[in-house]
Structure 1
Amino acid sequence: MDSWVRFLALLVCLFPALIECSVRHYKFDVVMRKTTRLCSTKPIVTVNGQFPGPTLYAREDDNVLVKVVNHVKYNVTIHWHGVRQIRTGWSDGPAYITQCPIQPGQSYVYNFTITGQRGTLLWHAHILWLRATVHGGLVILPKRGVPYPFPKPHKEVVVVLAEWWKSDTEAVINKALQSGSAPNVSDAHTINGHPGPVSHCSTQDGFTLPVQSGKTYLLRIINAALNEELFFKIAGHQLTIVEVDASYVKPVKLDTILIAPGQTTNALITADKNSGKYLVAASPFMDSPIAVDNLTATATLHYSGTLANTPTTLTSPPPQNATAVANKFIKSLRSLNSKTYPAQVPLKVDHKLYFTVGLGINPCPTCTAGNGSRVVASINNVTFVMPTTALLQAHYFNMGGVFTTDFPGNPPHVFNYTGTPSNLQTNNGTKVFRLSYNSTVELVLQDTGIIAPENHPVHLHGFNFFAVGRGLGNYNPKKDSKHFNLIDPVERNTIGVPSGGWVAIRFRADNPGVWFMHCHLEVHTTWGLKMAFLVDNGKGPNQSLLPPPSDLPKC
């Protein structure tokens, strides 16, 4: 886009009352910045020097252009998590899947249109462990004149939950990969960049949410953490859930929500007290015997007129293994399924897939911590090997030798998936599963107990899907499918596979390209719990992948 066109677009955005702004321009400078969080002065990778990064605002059907300039020593990509990227996979962002990374000193313009979506999403780095600090909110407002399907709030607040390491996160994961062991857990959780009071760091203040008595607020809550599902709770107040993953739900009132990495939740809170200060808490959920950062991040809900030295009303966050609290939230979610926002669940299924997700152990003669072995992760016993050429590029230009299309649609070996098998080894490969355009998919994701059962928040790029079923133990296709919710299942882009259980999703493959699917616990992605769907072009004029942009980074 030349400078004159950019100038005209800017004029349009400066006068939204006269002309609807349809082009949004942003610039992301990826830079190092020193920070004193947790009494550490280490430099961290940031966007525009901010942690969390800036919140992007757009409207449904807007065209968004973001120029990302890499000023750091690492390769960088940015993923617009949950944006469907209809025919624009080149802007999706996962490194070596849809693009080669932006190298130091280079730039790339992400160019995509937000089609049929509104709500809260997030953006984050999608290479290495950089998303620990390179992340932020993405707020998609409805079209002008289109109201929310819930009472209009007095104010909206973006709340970003995350993890914090005192050490450099790249050093943390590199050390773990060399040794073959699990990486160190984070040192704290954060709410909008602040952990709240923590030991050995007296300078830390928490985030403050100011409210006025009698007003209702919309909290746009985002979990940008690397490796942990989080509970979110506010002392003395109920939260009315109205949206998850930028999809409206039937309003439900709860005191605690569960939000996995990559998920978002919009909740209304009414300031129904006369005054006071109330604790806001974000704490980990993990109902399997896995080490997690067990510190609770805290903030304060502060009523206007309340003195600063007023004691804060406290709340007790759920225990780390509070499965019942987690299940109560998950089971309460239903699509709004209104005339305006119908739940278009595929009723006819072309592909019934069954994917096991979990951990394994492979030989590693150089690994010191694992006695000649290392922990790996897999889907259907395939530990994904990252290519050195982007899959989408290889697909578009018919480049051979980069990937194969023989990803198994079912587990290659049948066993008691939630038991403990004798064979812990997996196979390595760069495999994709091919889908014809507009075909429908039912995918059951089954956790395995090969090492230990674990929660797996699985994210599918390029699509929303409907969570039609969920259960514990091994999935039984004859019995369990009879209880699927095909009327108003919740619509998401990231879904939690329960420890020792399964979840069933359905989606329509109406977006051509190569689309990543992976566990959003970054440690599991690093270990290989990932794969990709290749969706062929359709026959219609708007059913083909668009050509790559001229500034697409090269490997």
Structure 2
Amino acid sequence: MGSNFATIALLPFFIFQVFAGDVFVDLPVTNAIVAPDGFSRSAIQAGTFPGAHIVAMKGDTLHINVTNTLSDPTMRRSTSIHWHGLFQDRTASEDGPAFVNQCPIAPGSFYQYNFPVGNQTGTYWFHSHLSTQYADGERGTLVIYDPDDPQKNLWDVDDASTVITLADWYHTPAEQLMAQFKADGHEPVPASGLFNGVGRYNGGPAIPWSVINVVAGKRYRLRIINISAFAAYTFSVDGHVFDVIETDGIATVPLTVSSFVIHAAQRYSVVLNANQAPQNYWIRTPMTVAGSSSLCANASVCL
């Protein structure tokens, strides 16, 4: 079984500030050559790779202009975006599932998603909702802050630097993997797992690990999002326990744990107190591919 890793280092931090109102976002969906684990392949990115980070405040209305310039014939070229975890109250047309709530956005076209977030707050993400397209990279994160969050006394820092994405990554385009799955019934196994967009695979180069910088004595709200298509992870931080305070956009009574399992599409917020001796601490996220086939014999991330 392989693992994803990151380290926590002790450095100064910066204050993040957002303002309520209408939020306008340009989100180009493009093909790009990426190599997050050292293996170069054509992929799809939503804004950037591993994905744009959209920020809103409680009560905001989002206006997200998605422009489709996809052209790679090895992948789906039409697209749609689903805002995962958000209730679309009277705005079902903006929910994103292709051929259900909307027609796909054709190459060379655009669509502006317009919807209020209402009283919803917390940690969310977005992804393509056309076939298996998001496994090729079309995904990102969305955080809705509450300026009057009743739990805000529990942490000192909660900003873009404390958002963590976990993703499975494939070296073969998703359409080919789907054809393989239909032919032999074996679930495609990821080549690697990505922590904040970087990872390693067996036999690949030693890509530098992601680093999350913290200041000794500060408390950090880490927002962990599993943006995978298939994989689950077990999240822990060496030498630390932490309090789970949010599950899938819902605030919870703080629960102290040393680790937790996070499945595809799930989100957790945890408060980590940087109260241990200053040094680097591994963040460990070993991957589990439940029910994976015999193809695991050639992969680095299977049980």
Q: TM-score, normalised by structure 1?
A: 0.47
- For residues 302-317 of structure 1, the aligned pairs below 5 Å read none
Q: CA deviation at 1:150?
A: 4.7
SS at match of 1:100: coil
Deviation at 1:199, TM superposition (A): 2.9
The reply on whether 1:186 has 2:190 as its aligned counterpart is yes
Aligned residues of 2:124 and 2:143 also touching (Cα < 8 A): yes
Tell me, yes or no, if structure 1 residue 217 matches structure 2 residue 215: no
CA contact (8 A) 2:34 2:43 kept: yes
Alignment of 1:271-290 (within 5 A): 271-285=274-288
The change in CA–CA distance for 1:46 and 1:287 in structure 2 (over 3 A counts) is closer
- 2 CA distance for matches of 1:222 and 1:235? 19
- Bigger relative CO (Cα 8 Å, ≥ 6 apart): 2
2:10 alignment counterpart: none
What secondary structure, in the 3-state scheme, does the structure 2 residue paired with 1:37 have? Answer: coil
SS of equivalent residue, structure 1 residue 171: helix
CA drift at 1:100: 1.2
Q: Deviations over 1:135-185 (max 9, x none)?
A: 11110001x3444355132343110000111111222112332x2422421
1:123 to 121, 126, 145: 126
Distance in 2 separating the partners of 1:265 and 1:134 = 21
Once residues 289 and 201 of structure 2 are traced to their aligned partners in structure 1, the CA distance between those partners, rounded to angstroms, is: 21
Match of 1:42 in 2: 41
Q: Please report how far the alpha carbon of residue 89 of structure 1 lies from its aligned counterpart in structure 2 after TM superposition.
A: 0.3
Check the 8 A contact 1:38/1:166 in 2, yes or no. Answer: no
After TM superposition, give the deviation of residue 34 of structure 1 in Å.
0.9
CA displacement 1:59-84 (0-9 Å, x = unmatched): 11110010101100311000000110
Matched, 1:254 2:252: no
Q: Aligned residue pairs: how many? A: 277
RMSD: 2.2
Residue pairs, 1:25-424, within 5 angstroms: 25-48=24-47, 50-73=48-71, 74-132=77-135, 133-142=137-146, 144-148=147-151, 150-156=153-159, 157-177=162-182, 179-195=183-199, 197-285=200-288, 295=300, 320=303
Identity of aligned residues (%): 25
Q: Which amino acid aligns with 1:184?
A: P
Amino acid in structure 2 at the alignment position of 1:55: H
What secondary structure does 2:96 align onto? Answer: coil
Contact kept? 2:202, 2:300, Cα under 8 Å: no
Q: CA contact under 8 A between 1:284 and 1:292: conserved in structure 2?
A: no
CA contact (8 A) 2:165 2:225 kept: yes
Structure with higher Rg: it is 1
Contact persistence 1:80–1:124 (CA under 8 A): yes
Would you say the 8 A contact 1:185–1:291 is kept in 2?
Answer: no
Cα distance in structure 2, aligned partners of 1:199 and 1:289: 18
Q: 1:145 & 1:251 partners in 2: Cα distance?
A: 18
Question: How far apart are residue 134 of structure 1 and its match?
Answer: 1.0
CA, structure 1 residues 64+91, in 2 after alignment: closer, same or farther (shift >3 Å)? same
CA–CA separation in structure 1 for the residues paired with 2:166 and 2:116: 27
SS state at 1:46 partner: strand
Matched residues in 2 for 1:181 and 1:105: separation?
Answer: 35
Q: Which secondary structure state, in structure 1, belongs to the residue aligned with residue 37 of structure 2?
A: helix
- Deviation digits for residues 244-281 of structure 1, max 9, x if unmatched? 11100110111111111111000011112222111112
Give the Å deviation of 1:236.
Answer: 1.1
TM-score by length of 2: 0.85
